[in-house]
């Protein structure tokens, strides 16, 4: 074994990798680039152990090993795995070990597989802890809370035997019609960068566990909010809005990127050599593995002559690892036919092997940590909901008689979002349950379904509302899949004439983002009783809630807060916790006014003839129970190490927390400035009546969003409620003369 350089941890990574690579046949190398089988379909229980489908062994034998086996723990409606037939925390590691054992045994050099697992907001596996959807996490404006929670997720995932954890974060929310809005960190590149960095740091805190970020790149710019549509955007829009989070991910140590389905100005990401090689690797210095999204390489054959050509383009671009495609199995034939240079295979295989070695897969096995269930991330969960308006009805008075009304009022599944496993029976707290834990007199009536009336529902809801002190109207969306739903081959909803319960999530794109008519009617009816209405909007995407806001005394936008969402909501409505969430995305008035992202470039028109062009609530909006005011602001430092200081005063008679936001705009160049760019932010807590100076620095992560200007002036201003620019912002010179 002295000659097995690749197994010697004392050798440099490159030496180990090259040694291993040099021993592999073409077929073995191609095998390392493939993960053709959806892993959750491959196993079944066999007494106390696990049995594997024959095709699994065939696949291993075919390639003399395997590159990766994806999502073996996956449990959800699409995989069909649940508590009755899935794998729980106690057995997970054993399942993975059993699979790896077969792979290692089938490989001449004993190379295990990468084991990637979905963990966008908690591991998508039975019994792991769920976190709020990314959009809810972003609404906290507290990446530190996500980093902490993600570290606990990493411990769970690692304990269950995975070595690569997949999470979204790179997609910007530019069109709320998109069903995957909930998987994003919102519309702002700074927030997306900060949260992506936090996610990578937290998830990669476990030895032996790498992080794969998705999707690279610009999937959020898809036309019409239609899933996976092309993004005909320019390089500047790409660089300023869609790339900063990815770059922050590289710098935070992401081990892998998933190439996106969409094209950018015509070139599919999966075949984009500029994107995957020249930018990501050559310019940014990324040295990990690029994996395809599911079946994305096969999709190229819609307009390429054969699988070899699809594989050739993807391999040339820099895709190292396939994801269920047939096309990458054609690489061997492509090399033999002289159509694909073997050096390209070597390049990709080297990266896969290098990652495996870095993750310790070729080292003597170390014991996995024991699975310990993570505790609910209550600070994170509670910090996400955004209080958009409040006429004083909140906090709810102790002893209030409450009528909880609305289709999401007693629905735990609606709190969770997409990419979730089934909960344990009885797990999770609905809004109703959360309020009942705090208030003695709480009635409930759904009143309607998400998109349809319910016989007698309006009357029953109105009756309860009329008899209550306050109505808590819980409306919005749900991404809860049914085990009876139809799915596309990649797990997205296959939306057909048959309407599923869900109204959001992958595949659930929406033409009209207004709150559905059935829910609007419910709001009208309960408001008409005269009882004050507090709206709680449970939704993964921005909805058009203009009429709702007119009707209601208070609106709390709760996003998808996760299974503890009911507790958190109740803690916020009761005043036990201060609402500190702020919008990570602009809320539009209607689909017809899209796009409304605050960081578009300057425009000269303010309205349509039938609507204001502005959002209903801007990015950054949100309030708490204390009220704050900012004094005169001053610049500190010089660009780019620049900040703004001002006196912040708590003008209320209660202690509270607010989010001080620093915005800017680069002027003086032949480029139209964006209306505003978030440059930094700070949570500040002050006692009743207290005041203190606050400094918010320009974050280096925000500079790409400004276009990394080299000359001109930077306008700066502080705000407590979004990007509105004062008549006289502060000004700082940019560039060399600064």
Q: Which residues pair with 686 in a beta bridge?
A: 656
Is residue 706 within 8 Å of residue 714, measured between CB atoms? yes
Nearer to its own copies, 643 or 673 (CB): 673
Is 725 one of the binding residues for its own copies (CB under 8 A)?
Answer: no
Instruction: Report in angstroms how near the CB of residue 263 gets to its own copies at its nearest.
Output: 5
Is 215 one of the binding residues for its own copies (CB under 8 A)?
Answer: no
Choose, by CB under 8 A, the member of 228, 457, 622, 729 that binds its own copies.
Answer: 228
Q: Which residues pair with 436 in a beta bridge?
A: none
Is 507 one of the binding residues for its own copies (CB under 8 A)?
Answer: yes
Is 168 one of the binding residues for its own copies (CB under 8 A)?
Answer: no
How far is residue 486's CA from residue 497's CA, in Å, rounded to a whole number?
11
Choose, by CB under 8 A, the member of 2, 47, 234, 367 that binds its own copies.
Answer: 234
Binding mask 671-700 for its own copies (x = CB under 8 A): xxx---------------------------
User: Residues 484-520, buried b or exposed e (16+ Cβ, 10 A)?
Assistant: ebebeebbbbebeeeebbbbbbbbbbbeebbbbebbb
Is 452 one of the binding residues for its own copies (CB under 8 A)?
Answer: no
How far is residue 203's CA from residue 157's CA, in Å, rounded to a whole number?
9
Is 603 one of the binding residues for its own copies (CB under 8 A)?
Answer: yes
Is 233 one of the binding residues for its own copies (CB under 8 A)?
Answer: yes
Instruction: Report in angstroms how near the CB of residue 233 gets to its own copies at its nearest.
Output: 5
Choose, by CB under 8 A, the member of 48, 302, 338, 632 that binds its own copies.
Answer: 302
* Positions 258 through 287 that interact with its own copies (CB under 8 A): 261, 263-268, 271-272
Choose, by CB under 8 A, the member of 317, 394, 402, 523 that binds its own copies.
Answer: 317
Query: What is 333-375 written as a DSSP string?
Result: HHHHTTSS-HHHHHHHHHHHHHHHHHTTTTSPPPPPPPP-PPP
Choose, by CB under 8 A, the member of 162, 594, 616, 716 that binds its own copies.
Answer: 594
Nearer to its own copies, 235 or 638 (CB): 235
How far is residue 315's CA from residue 301's CA, in Å, rounded to a whole number?
14
Instruction: Report in angstroms how near the CB of residue 14 gets to its own copies at its nearest.
Output: 30
Instruction: Report in angstroms how near the CB of residue 307 gets to its own copies at its nearest.
Output: 14
Q: What's CA 577's distance to the chain center, in Å? A: 25
Number of amino acids touching its own copies (CB under 8 A): 75
User: 3-state SS string over 268-322?
Assistant: EHHHCHHHHHHHHHHHCCCCCEEEECCCHHHHHHHCCCCHHHHHHHHHHHCCCEC
* Positions 484 through 503 that interact with its own copies (CB under 8 A): 493, 495, 499, 503
Is 320 one of the binding residues for its own copies (CB under 8 A)?
Answer: no
Residue 369: name the closest of 163, 125, 158 by CA. Answer: 158
Nearer to its own copies, 18 or 715 (CB): 715
Q: Which residues pair with 476 in a beta bridge?
A: 538
**Number of other residues whose CB lies within 10 A of the CB of residue 665:** 22
**Number of other residues whose CB lies within 10 A of the CB of residue 440:** 9
E strand or H helix that includes residue 92: helix 89-105
Nearer to its own copies, 62 or 731 (CB): 731
Nearer to its own copies, 77 or 162 (CB): 77
* Positions 617 through 676 that interact with its own copies (CB under 8 A): 665, 667-673
Omega before 640 within 30 of 0, i.e. cis = yes
Q: Which residues lie closer than 8 Å to 266 by C-beta, 6 or more apart?
A: 230, 232
Is residue 622 within 8 Å of residue 720, measured between CB atoms? no
* Positions 23 through 62 that interact with its own copies (CB under 8 A): none
Nearer to its own copies, 291 or 493 (CB): 493
Which of the stretches 12-20, 326-334, 410-418, 593-601 binds its own copies when contact is defined by CB under 8 A?
Answer: 593-601
Instruction: Report in angstroms how near the CB of residue 658 gets to its own copies at its nearest.
Output: 30
Is 227 one of the binding residues for its own copies (CB under 8 A)?
Answer: yes
Is 101 one of the binding residues for its own copies (CB under 8 A)?
Answer: no
Is 512 one of the binding residues for its own copies (CB under 8 A)?
Answer: yes
Choose, by CB under 8 A, the member of 177, 356, 577, 681 that binds its own copies.
Answer: 177
Q: Phi first, then psi: what are they for 299, rounded to 5°?
A: -60, -25
Nearer to its own copies, 235 or 372 (CB): 235
The dihedral sign for the CA sequence 282, 286, 291, 296: negative
Nearer to its own copies, 227 or 553 (CB): 227
Which of the stretches 64-72, 416-424, 437-445, 506-514 binds its own copies when contact is defined by CB under 8 A?
Answer: 506-514
Is 600 one of the binding residues for its own copies (CB under 8 A)?
Answer: yes
Is residue 121 within 8 Å of residue 169, measured between CB atoms? no
How far is residue 344's CA from residue 319's CA, in Å, rounded to a whole number?
10
Is 391 one of the binding residues for its own copies (CB under 8 A)?
Answer: no
Q: What's CA 281's distance to the chain center, in Å? A: 23
Nearer to its own copies, 74 or 501 (CB): 501
* Positions 696 through 715 that interact with its own copies (CB under 8 A): 707, 713
Q: Which residues pair with 487 in a beta bridge?
A: 493
Is residue 301 within 8 Å of residue 268, measured between CB atoms? no
- 342-358 helix and 307-317 helix, angle to the nearest 10 degrees: 60
Strand 263-264, strand 267-268: pairing: antiparallel
Instruction: Report in angstroms how near the CB of residue 241 gets to its own copies at its nearest.
Output: 8
Is 738 one of the binding residues for its own copies (CB under 8 A)?
Answer: no
Which of the stretches 185-193, 256-264, 337-345, 376-384 binds its own copies when contact is defined by CB under 8 A?
Answer: 256-264
Instruction: Report in angstroms how near the CB of residue 312 gets to its own copies at its nearest.
Output: 10
> Torsion-angle region of residue 480: left (phi > 0), alpha (psi -120 to 50) or beta?
beta
How far is residue 601's CA from residue 618's CA, in Å, rounded to a whole number?
15
Nearer to its own copies, 167 or 518 (CB): 518
Instruction: Report in angstroms how near the CB of residue 69 gets to its own copies at its nearest.
Output: 25
């Amino acid at each position: 074994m002295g000659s097995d350089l690749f197994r010697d941890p004392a050798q440099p990574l490159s030496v180990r990798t090259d040694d291993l690579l040099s021993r592999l046949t073409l077929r073995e190398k191609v095998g390392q680039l493939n993960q053709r089988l959806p892993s959750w379909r491959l196993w079944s229980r066999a007494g106390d152990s696990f049995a594997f489908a024959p095709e699994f062994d065939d696949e291993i034998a075919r390639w003399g090993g395997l590159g990766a086996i994806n999502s073996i723990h996956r449990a959800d409606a699409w995989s069909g795995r649940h508590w009755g037939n899935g794998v729980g925390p106690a057995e997970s590691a054993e399942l993975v070990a059993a699979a790896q054992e077969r792979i290692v045994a089938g490989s001449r050099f004993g190379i295990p597989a990468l084991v990637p697992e979905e963990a966008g907001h908690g591991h998508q596996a039975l019994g792991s802890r769920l976190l709020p959807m990314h959009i809810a996490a972003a609404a906290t404006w507290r990446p530190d809370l996500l980093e902490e929670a993600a570290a606990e997720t990493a411990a769970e995932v690692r304990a269950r035997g995975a070595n690569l954890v997949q999470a979204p974060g790179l997609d910007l929310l530019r069109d709320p019609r998109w069903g995957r809005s909930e998987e994003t960190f919102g519309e702002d590149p700074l927030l997306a960068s900060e949260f992506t960095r936090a996610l990578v740091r937290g998830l990669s805190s476990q030895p032996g566990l790498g992080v794969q970020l998705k999707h690279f790149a610009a999937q959020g710019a898809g036309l019409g909010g239609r899933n996976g549509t092309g993004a005909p955007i320019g390089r500047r829009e790409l660089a300023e809005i869609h790339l900063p989070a990815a770059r922050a991910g590289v710098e935070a140590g992401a081990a892998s990127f998933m190439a996106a389905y969409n094209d950018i100005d015509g070139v599919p990401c999966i075949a984009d050599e500029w994107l995957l090689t020249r930018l990501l690797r050559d310019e940014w210095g990324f040295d990990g593995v690029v994996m395809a999204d599911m079946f994305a390489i096969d999709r190229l054959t819609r307009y390429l002559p054969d699988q070899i050509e699809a594989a050739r383009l993807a391999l040339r671009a820099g895709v190292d690892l396939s994801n269920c495609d047939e096309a990458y199995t054609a690489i061997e034939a492509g090399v033999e036919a002289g159509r694909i240079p073997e050096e390209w295979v070597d390049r990709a295989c080297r990266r896969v092997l290098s990652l495996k070695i870095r993750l310790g897969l070729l080292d003597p096995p170390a014991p996995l940590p024991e699975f310990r269930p993570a505790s609910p991330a209550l600070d994170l969960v509670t910090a996400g909901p955004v209080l958009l308006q409040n006429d004083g009805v909140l906090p709810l008075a102790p002893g209030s008689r409450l009528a909880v009304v609305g289709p999401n009022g007693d629905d735990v599944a609606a709190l969770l979002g997409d990419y979730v496993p089934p909960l344990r029976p009885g797990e999770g707290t609905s809004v109703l349950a959360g309020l009942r834990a705090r208030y003695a007199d709480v009635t409930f009536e759904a009143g309607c379904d998400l998109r349809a009336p319910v016989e007698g529902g309006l009357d029953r809801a109105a009756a309860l509302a009329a008899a209550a002190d306050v109505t808590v109207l819980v409306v919005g969306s749900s991404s809860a899949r049914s085990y009876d739903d139809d799915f596309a081959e990649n797990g997205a909803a296959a939306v057909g004439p048959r309407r599923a319960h869900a109204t959001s999530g992958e595949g659930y794109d929406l033409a009209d983002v207004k709150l559905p008519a059935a829910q609007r009617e419910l709001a009208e009816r309960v408001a008409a009783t005269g009882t004050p209405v507090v709206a709680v909007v449970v939704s993964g995407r921005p909805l058009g809630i203009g009429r709702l806001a007119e009707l209601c005394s208070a609106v709390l936008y709760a996003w998808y807060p996760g299974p503890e969402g009911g507790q958190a909501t109740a803690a916020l409505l009761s005043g036990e916790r201060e609402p500190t969430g702020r919008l990570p995305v602009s809320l539009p008035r209607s689909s017809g006014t899209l796009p409304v992202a605050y960081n578009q470039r300057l425009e000269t028109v303010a309205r349509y003839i039938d609507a204001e062009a502005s959002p209903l609530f801007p990015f950054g909006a949100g309030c708490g129970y204390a009220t704050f005011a900012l004094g005169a602001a001053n610049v500190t430092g010089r660009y780019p190490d620049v900040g703004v200081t001002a006196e912040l005063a708590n003008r209320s008679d209660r202690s509270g927390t607010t989010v001080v936001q620093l915005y800017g705009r680069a002027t003086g160049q032949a480029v139209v400035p964006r209306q505003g760019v978030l440059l930094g932010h700070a949570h500040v807590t002050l006692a009743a009546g207290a005041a203190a100076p606050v400094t918010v620095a320009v974050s280096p992560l925000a500079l790409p969003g400004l276009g990394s200007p080299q000359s001109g002036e930077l306008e700066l201003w502080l705000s407590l409620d979004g990007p509105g620019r004062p008549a006289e912002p502060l000004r700082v010179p940019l560039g060399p003369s600064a």
